Amino acid sequence: MTQQLLGSYAVQSDIGNYDIDEHGAGIEYIKDMQFVPPIDQTDDLLEKIARLHALNRSVMLVSIAVFLNRGSAEPKGSASGIQWFCGTTGAQ
């Protein structure tokens, strides 16, 4: 299950939300992506990844929100005792 879930997140990260009009109903849209060693990458695995990808709508937004929430709310420290904060900036 871990391979399928991580694979679906990789697809989500690479191409965004699943859209049946754009990606079709099969696995052709992810056929060229490599998730595991070629010998282990079966059509069955790709079908499971595609099925989970279709359910991942807006997962990236949730992940980013959690990261921002945790990163900005908690000061971090280093071995030298210097305190630092994690933050982000937008880019265009």
Which class would CATH give 2-59?
mainly alpha
What does the pLDDT read at residue 73?
46
Q: Would you kindly state where each structural domain of the chain is located, as residue ranges?
A: 2-59
CA atoms within 13 A on the CB side of 50: 19
Q: Over 80: is that where the pLDDT of 88 sits?
A: no
pTM over 0.95: no
- Give tens-digit pLDDT for 64-86: 565 555 545 455 555 566 665 55
What does the pLDDT read at residue 62?
64
Buried b / exposed e along 21-30 (16+ C-beta atoms within 10 A): eebeeebebb
- Give tens-digit pLDDT for 22-61: 999 999 999 999 988 888 999 999 999 999 999 887 766 6
